[in-house]
Amino acid sequence: MSSSTPSSVNYEPTRRGVPVSAAPLLELQNLSTHYVSAQGTRVVRAVDDVSLRIRAGETLGIVGESGSGKSTLALTILRILPPAARIVSGKMLLDGENILEKSDAEMRHIRGKRIAMILQDPMASLNPLFTIGDQVGEPIRVHDGASRATAWSRAKELLKAVRIPSPETRVTQYPHEMSGGMRQRIVGAIGISCEPRLLIADEPTTSLDLTIQAQYLKLLRDLQQQHHLALIFITHNLGIVAKMCDQLAVMYAGRVVESGPVSQIFNSPAHPYTEALLNSIPRMTDNAHRLTAIEGQPPDLAALPPGCAFAPRCPRAFDRCREAGPPEFRPSPGRTARCWLTAGSAAA
C-alpha cells in the first residue's frame, strides 16, 4: 500500500508550478465538530478528529459522499455553524493563531477578509434587490470602510478580473439581468474582493452545465495564481479534483480517511474507500454494462460501529477493523491513511 514516489516528499512546487510557501496558512489539528440534539442524547459526529494543513498557493480538494462532513468542515473553519453544532475539540491555526479562541467580533473581521467562501449555490447567492456594484463592493465597505464610490470602482475592477464584459454597465444592473455563468463569476468576484488568503469553494459548480463549469474552474485557478490564494475545494467530483487540486483529503463518516498529494493518491490509494471511489468513476473504455458502486450505506453518524466506520462496507476488512478504529498512519511522508492495512508499512 505504501507509495512508490518518495521523491516528492515536500511536494513542491505543486503540479501546476505555482510556488508554495513552506509554512502552512491554515492548519487544523484534531478538529471535531458534533451536532448535539436538544436533549443532549444524540450526538452526531459530523467532523471527527480532522487534521489538515494547507499552504498559500495550494489547492486542497476535499471529497466524500453526501453527509461525510465536508460542508460542516467548511462551516467549522469559518465558525458559522448552526446553533446545534459544537466544535468540541481541536485547534485551527490561521497563520499560527488559533482562530477558535477569537471572539465573534474578531471572527467577523476574518470572514470575508482573510477567509472567503463561495457557497454551494452561487446562483442564489446574490441579493435580488441590490445592484451588482453594491454587492461586489460590500465586503470592501464592511472590512475596509470604503466609501460607496470607492467600492463601486473597485467592483468594476473585480468584474474585469472575473472576465465580465462591459463592467461599467454591469455594476448598475441587478442579478436577474445576468446569466447563470455570470452570476457565478460575480460570486467569485465577491469572494476575492478583500483579497483573502484562503478561499473555500463548497461545490461551486454543481448547479452549472459542463462548459460553464470548465470555464469557471479555469477562472478560479487563474485567480488563485494571481492572488497566491490557498484554495479549499469541496466536491464529490473526482474528475474536478484531478484537474484542480494539489492535495486531496478523502472524508468518510466525518473523518479524513486518507490525505496526501493528488497524483500519489490517484496512482496508489492507501485506503480501500479511496480505492472504491476511484473505481466507481465510469470510464469510456469499460466493457462492463453495470456501473461500479460501493456496496452498502454510509453509517449513521450518531451510531458509528465500534471499529473502523468503513469496515461494514470494506471488502478487505478483517477482525481488527471491527474491533478498533485505526489511528492516522503515515504510509509515506506527506500522506496519511486511517486503515489498519497500512499499519505494517508506516508508523502511527
Partner 1 sequence: MSTQAEIIVAPPRVRRRATFFRLGDFPLIPALILLGIGFVAVFANLLAPHNPEVGSLVARFKPPFWQTGGTTKYLLGTDQLGRDVLSRLIFGARISMVVGLTAVMFAGVLGTVLGIVSGYLGGWVDQIVMRLTDTWLALPALTFAIFLAAIVGPSMWNIVLILGITYWTRYARVIRGEVLSLKEREFVRLAIVAGCSKRAIMLRHILPNVINTAIVLGTLELGVVIIAEASLSFLGVGVPPPQPAWGLMLSDGKQGLMVGYWWLTVFPGCCIMLMVLSANLLGDWLRVKLDPQLRQL
CB of 347 to partner 1, least distance (A): 39
CB of 55 to partner 1, least distance (A): 22
Contact between 137 and partner 1 by CB under 8 A: the answer reads no
In the shown chain, the binding pattern of residues 70 to 109 toward partner 1, with x for contact by CB under 8 A and - for none, equals --------x-x--x---------------------x--xx
List 127, 226, 267, 280, residue binding partner 1 (CB under 8 A): 127
62 strand-pairing partners:
234, 249
- Whether residue 155 contacts residue 137, with contact meaning beta carbons closer than 8 Å, is answered with yes
CB of 130 to partner 1, least distance (A): 7
Contact between 9 and partner 1 by CB under 8 A: the answer reads no
In the shown chain, the binding pattern of residues 182 to 201 toward partner 1, with x for contact by CB under 8 A and - for none, equals -----x--x-----------
**Closer to partner 1 by Cβ: residue 109 or 218:** 109
In this chain, which stretch among 22-30, 53-61, 124-132, 305-313 interacts with partner 1, using CB under 8 A? 124-132
CB of 170 to partner 1, least distance (A): 9
**Closer to partner 1 by Cβ: residue 126 or 245:** 126
- Whether residue 10 contacts residue 334, with contact meaning beta carbons closer than 8 Å, is answered with yes
Contact between 36 and partner 1 by CB under 8 A: the answer reads no
CB of 142 to partner 1, least distance (A): 6
List 9, 23, 84, 124, residue binding partner 1 (CB under 8 A): 124
**Closer to partner 1 by Cβ: residue 135 or 342:** 135
Q: Kindly state the cell numbers that stand for 238.
A: 473526482
- Whether residue 196 contacts residue 115, with contact meaning beta carbons closer than 8 Å, is answered with yes
**Closer to partner 1 by Cβ: residue 204 or 325:** 204
In this chain, which stretch among 45-53, 127-135, 278-286, 322-330 interacts with partner 1, using CB under 8 A? 127-135
CB of 308 to partner 1, least distance (A): 34
Q: CB-based burial of residue 293 (10 Å sphere; 0-12 exposed, 13-18 middle, 19+ buried)?
A: exposed
- Whether residue 231 contacts residue 220, with contact meaning beta carbons closer than 8 Å, is answered with yes
Pick from 35, 151, 142: nearest CA to 82: 35
Compute the chain's Rg from CA coordinates.
21
Contact between 42 and partner 1 by CB under 8 A: the answer reads no
Contact between 203 and partner 1 by CB under 8 A: the answer reads no
Task: Enumerate the H helices of the chain as residue ranges.
Answer: 70-78, 104-110, 132-144, 148-161, 167-170, 180-192, 210-227, 238-244, 262-267, 272-279, 319-323
Residues 139-168 within binding reach of partner 1 (CB under 8 A): 139, 142-143
Count of Cβ atoms closer than 10 Å to residue 45 Cβ: 20
Q: How would you classify residue 108: left for phi > 0, otherwise alpha for psi between -120 and 50, otherwise beta?
A: alpha
Residues that bind partner 1 (rule: CB under 8 A) add up to a total of 37
**Closer to partner 1 by Cβ: residue 194 or 270:** 194
Q: Would you give the DSSP letter of residue 330?
A: B
**Buried b or exposed e, range 130-148, using 16+ CB within 10 angstroms:** ebbbbbbbbbbbbbeebee
Q: Concatenated DSSP letters for 174-190?
A: -GGGS-HHHHHHHHHHH
Where do contacts with partner 1 occur on this chain (CB under 8 A)? Answer: 78, 80, 83, 105, 108-113, 116-117, 119-130, 135, 138-139, 142-143, 169, 172-174, 176-177, 187, 190
